[in-house]
A and B are shown apart, each in its own frame.
Chain A
Amino acid sequence: MNEWVFLAVGVMLTSASVLALFRIIQGPSILDRMIASDMLLTTMICALGAEMVYNSHTKTLPAMLVLATTAFLGSVVVARYVSRNSHS
């Protein structure tokens, strides 16, 4: 397949990750950081999928599943923490 397609995909995913990192560093509240880290994990899942297409293997499919689980658990735990702190 054309190499330029994968170059464009890599550039777009890398810049999305860098923008998410900026928001994690700069974010005014903990929820902004949580949203940005969720988006960073989604970008990592997409990057793993693109790498599987590029090298034509399926070895990192379990890693994609584990990353999806970790994103869900992390955001739910932080949301519970924030709402409990606001009540007490």
Chain B
Amino acid sequence: MIFDTIADILTGVFLILGAFLSLAAGVGLIRFPDAIARLHATTKPQILGLAFVLLAIALQERRISTILVLLLLLVFQMLTAPVSAHMIARAGYRGGIIAPESLFVDELGQAIDDAPQEQSEPTKSTHPSQPAD
């Protein structure tokens, strides 16, 4: 009886927190100036906001089968959301959409600068007559 009341209150709090994270991501999506900053804003509700909503569902439907499906959904989202955000940011860097002046630390640029030298040096040493493409 008293547990149901506490679960209802916690459900409302978790739902409002998840919806507020989505709203904050929407405001950041409009107001931030750069693609990287917008990516930073929108990756917050992808895991934490979804986790709040799933907690609210689990508090209302307290069965082991439902909670297992919710756990599967959360683990799946935690596996796939960082991969997709990483792919989008990397494609933006490679495609020149992200301005290099907006980056304070550019480790991927150093890695790209180092990579062709490591690949072209063995080919030059083994085939000195062929021009390097």
Contact = CB atoms under 8 A, between A and B. Distances in A.
A39 B26 contact: yes
Contact of A29 (B20, B56, B80, B97): B97
B88 A8 contact: no
Contacts of B108: none
A84 B30 CA distance: 28
Interface string B19-33: 110110111011000
B95 interface: yes
A46 B94 contact: no
B120 interface: no
Nearest to A43: B22
Determine chain A's interface SS by DSSP, over half rule.
helix
A53 to B, nearest CB: 5
Contacts, number: 169
Contacts of A36: 29, 38, 42
Interface string B38-69: 11001001100110011011001100001001
Contact of A5 (B15, B29, B90, B94): B15
Interface of A: 1-2, 5-6, 8-9, 12-13, 15-20, 22-23, 29, 31-32, 34-36, 38-39, 42-43, 45-46, 49-50, 52-53, 56, 58, 61, 64-65, 68-69, 71-72, 75-76, 78-80, 82-83, 85-87
A64 B57 CA distance: 12
A64 B83 contact: no
Which of B22, B83, B94 neighbours the largest number of chain A CB atoms within 10 Å of its CB? B22
Contacts of A82: 91-92, 94-95, 97
5 contacts: A13-B22, A42-B25, A43-B26, A56-B61, A68-B73
B60 A8 contact: no
B57 A38 contact: no
A18 B27 CA distance: 10
B13 to A, nearest CB: 9
Contacts of B66: 58, 61
